[in-house]
């Protein structure tokens, strides 16, 4: 099974691209969705122990937790030390399930793949990109988003040009959905033909 890492900076269309892989029958593990699930399960007591008062009825209150770690690098590190290993274990279990089902490809959707040193966990990397002006327009259309917030998020992410340099495949969502879907389908066809065992 080929393990494909899917990543891209904010506003590039990564979630839309992930859905295109799902629609094509490729299993996708979504790291953000795993965090949501863990916040209502295994992670909740651990987060409560580290950040008292941030859970309610056994579920992490994301707004309270966000307020607690925002702008506090040490607190954010503490939270990541709890969450990252749980998300990784969840992804490993997902891969194990699909290896036994003989899936030729599985996707790990990891927003911060390069930033968290996740390159070694995957066989190939797909970077989702779009022109900077389209990215900016998409992100600023989100509720509560400001130029300052966008600048702060981008400052923490590996620049798009650098990600594209390190990619095995690039999907450009700036050309519209049909073009992006054609690129995704071409990647799937190529990988199924190449077919190599994952590490």
**What is the residue-wise DSSP string for 169-191?**
EEEEGGG-HHHHHHHHHHHHHHH
Q: Per the structure block, which two tokens stand in for 52? A: 């008292």
| 21 and 114 both lie in a single domain | yes
Percent over 70 (pLDDT), the chain: 97
Of 86, 102, 118, the one marking the end of a domain is: 102
| 124 and 64 both lie in a single domain | no
| 134 and 60 both lie in a single domain | no
pLDDT for 194: 63
| 192 and 136 both lie in a single domain | yes
- From residue 63, alpha-carbon distances to 37, 55, 59, 161, 190 in Å are 16, 10, 12, 32, 42
Phi/psi at 16 (nearest 5 deg)? -65, -40
| 48 and 12 both lie in a single domain | no
Its domain, for residue 67, covers: 32-102
| 4 and 90 both lie in a single domain | no
Averaged pLDDT, 183-187: 96
pLDDT for 70: 82
pLDDT-based confidence at residue 98 (cuts at 50, 70, 90): very high
| 63 and 6 both lie in a single domain | no
CB contact at 8 A, 107 and 21: yes
pLDDT for 13: 94
| 81 and 48 both lie in a single domain | yes
pLDDT for 198: 46
Instruction: Encode pLDDT of 120-177 as tens digits.
Output: 999 999 999 999 999 999 999 999 898 888 988 888 889 999 999 999 999 999 999 9
């Amino acid at each position: 099974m080929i393990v494909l890492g899917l990543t891209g900076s904010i506003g590039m269309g990564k979630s839309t691209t992930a859905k295109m892989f799902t629609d094509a029958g490729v299993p996708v593990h979504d790291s953000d969705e795993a965090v949501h699930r863990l916040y209502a399960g295994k992670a909740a007591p651990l987060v409560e122990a580290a950040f008292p008062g941030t859970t309610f009825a056994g579920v992490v209150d994301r707004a309270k937790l966000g307020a607690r770690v925002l702008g506090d690098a040490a607190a954010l590190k503490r939270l990541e030390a709890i969450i990252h290993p749980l998300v990784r274990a969840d992804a490993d279990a997902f891969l194990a399930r699909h290896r036994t089902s003989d899936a030729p490809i599985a996707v790990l959707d990891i927003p911060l793949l390069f930033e968290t040193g996740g390159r070694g966990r995957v066989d190939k990397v797909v970077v989702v990109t779009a022109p900077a002006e389209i990215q900016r327009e998409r992100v600023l259309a989100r509720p509560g988003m400001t130029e300052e917030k966008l600048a702060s998020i981008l400052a923490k992410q590996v620049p798009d040009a650098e990600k594209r340099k390190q990619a095995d495949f690039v999907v450009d969502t700036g050309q519209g959905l049909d073009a992006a879907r054609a690129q995704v389908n071409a990647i799937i066809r190529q990988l199924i033909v190449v077919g190599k065992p994952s590490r």
